Amino acid sequence: MAQSEFLKGVSLFSDLNDEELKNVSQQIDDIEFVRDAFICKEGQQADSMFIIKSGIVQIFCDDGKGGRKILTHLKLGEYFGEMALLTDEPRNASAIALAETECIRIKKDSFRNLLKSNPAVCLSIIKTLCARLSKTNLGAPQTKKYNVYAILGPDTSSGKSLYARNLALAMHKLLGQDVMLYDPNLRDDRVARLLGVNERSRIIDELVDREKISDIRKFVAKAPCGLLTLLPQENGLTDIRLKEFHTFSLMQTIMENFEYIVVDSSSMFTKVTKEIVQSCDKIVYLISSKNVSIAGLMDHFDETRRGWKVKPEKIIFGVNHMTDDPTQESLINEKDRERISFEIPFFKELQGKRDPELNPVVAANPGHALAKICTNQAEEMLFDQTIGLFLPAFDEEPARADLAKRWIESGVEEFAKTLHSVEAKGPVTRNSVVCHMLSGRSSKWELNNDVVKVIDFSNRFKKEFGLDKIILSLNGQESII
């Protein structure tokens, strides 16, 4: 591939014309790095920026304890090192090649000339810096410590509370950590009661008096099933003193104190609902099959989340079948099902039941169909990052093909120690090579560490078979390493 053709596929240069791309290609040079080589170091003065042509680069900074704080991983077509060229300050992060890596290097003078002569490049740089700052990937430690999953429905008959309890329980079991099931309506004791928690508190009194809970833990109880929940206000089914800003304050306090939160949210689109949804990692919108138009409700929620500036990839649509009579259900066509992530079948034994021992069916009976659905959804929501390797199958070389299969088998076992939903698929073809695909799922908070382990496996595979490159897939984007 010609240099100018590669550059056109890089976001930094995508708006340049052929003549401008040719000019850029005359001011750059290629540079190769062996595995584990430093490309640039934190604290050094910068004289270049880099664009990745192949391989994978880890960006990290000193964690203040003599170790590394991994910030991100970059791959084909992504660039780094430009911030220090703009500020003339020492580099605020280091970059290391996790595999044999080839980069395009743009030196400082060429970079500044490029900015002066090409406004489109300036705009691209600004967009990239803004995106990085908004994600706090570079320059500052990450402050987001919580993971919030909200369950909403168009009405109170969608079964969202039953689903929320089971989803939270499934997350608790998958993570092996505390999960807070939170109902923003402190006047309603339903969530606590259905979890088998009978205690009450003066939580609204303290929230109103101080406008912030000083010690949230004294208002938290652990239910028999293992979930955490807030103790509702005693005799507080109505309390006109509680205002919206009190609810905002409490939600913020919960996010500061608990890492995993499932919100059994209101079916009303209020300011409180909007605030919660905008803080969420994923939002499940659960619709009863008895509604007149499931497609119409999905459209309406899509319109609402656009107004709230919530990205579509955060939304998960589910349908809860509330009857076994088809004539009582809304029609769901194939186009609708393309938007629906899961369906909950009708459970006659749960119809109209409000017995706490029956409702948390994940805890009571892991083999129940609802338990399995919630466990699958919990896994997809928690571990939504995908990592894969395309490993050559060597079909025309029986001895190497047999060895490759054994490597795949050992890879499945190795990946399963840290990744979820590990599987080997194939054959698939990449760059005219027949491959097996070894893949798994990771969480966003473990992705950086898991990428390192996958790269380590790929480097050992390459060494075993004398390969100089393997294709890595990260969230569907493929890169040569």
The CATH number given to whatever domain includes residue 53 is 2.60.120.10
Kindly report the three-state secondary structure assignment for every residue of 99-164: CCEEEEEEEHHHHHHHHHHCHHHHHHHHHHHHHHHHHCCCCCCCCCCCEEEEEECCCCCCCHHHHH
The model's pTM is 0.74
Do 405 and 294 belong to one domain? no
3-state helix, strand, coil in the chain (%, to 5): 40, 25, 35
> 142 in a domain, yes or no?
no
Do 327 and 421 belong to one domain? no
Do 228 and 296 belong to one domain? yes
* Alpha carbons within 13 A on the beta-carbon side of 382: 25
Tokens in use for 189?
């004791």
Under DSSP, the state recorded for 90 is P
Last residue of a domain, one of 330, 364, 382: 382
pLDDT at 10: 84
Indicate the number of domains in the chain: 3
Tokens in use for 453?
């382990």
Do 403 and 355 belong to one domain? no
Do 436 and 358 belong to one domain? no
**DSSP 3-state assignment of 67?**
coil
Last residue of a domain, one of 382, 402, 425: 382
pLDDT digits (tens, 9 = 90+) for 149-199: 999 988 777 888 889 989 999 999 999 999 999 988 777 777 888 888 888
Tokens in use for 275?
């605030």
**48 contacts 107 by C-beta, under 8 angstroms:** yes
The burial of 235, by beta-carbon neighbours within 10 Å (0-12 exposed, 13-18 middle, 19 or more buried), is given as: exposed
Do 359 and 394 belong to one domain? no
Q: At what angle do helices 271-278 and 244-257 cross, to 10 degrees?
A: 20
Cα–Cα distance, 445 to 145 (Å, whole number): 9
Looking at 204-325, which runs of residues are DSSP E strands?
A: 220-222, 228-230, 260-264, 282-288, 315-320
> 168 in a domain, yes or no?
yes
Please report, for residues 163, 290, 452, the alpha-carbon distance to residue 322 in angstroms, rounded to integers and kept in the order given: 13, 7, 46
> 452 in a domain, yes or no?
yes
Tokens in use for 368?
């129940």
Q: DSSP letters along 337-374, please?
A: HTTEEEEEPP-GGGTT---TTTS-HHHH-TTSHHHHHH
> 141 in a domain, yes or no?
no
Do 71 and 110 belong to one domain? yes
Do 117 and 155 belong to one domain? no
Cα–Cα distance, 68 to 374 (Å, whole number): 36
pLDDT at 364: 55
What range defines the domain where residue 418 resides? 385-480
The enclosing domain of 297 has a CATH number of: 3.40.50.300
Do 104 and 248 belong to one domain? no
pLDDT at 143: 45
pLDDT at 141: 39
Under DSSP, the state recorded for 33 is E
Among candidate residues 81, 73, 21, the one with its CA nearest the CA of residue 51:
81
Last residue of a domain, one of 354, 382, 410: 382
The enclosing domain of 429 has a CATH number of: 3.30.70
Do 186 and 208 belong to one domain? yes
pLDDT at 156: 73
Do 208 and 343 belong to one domain? yes
Do 244 and 152 belong to one domain? yes
In the chain, which stretches have pLDDT less than 50?
Answer: 134, 136-143, 354-358, 361-363
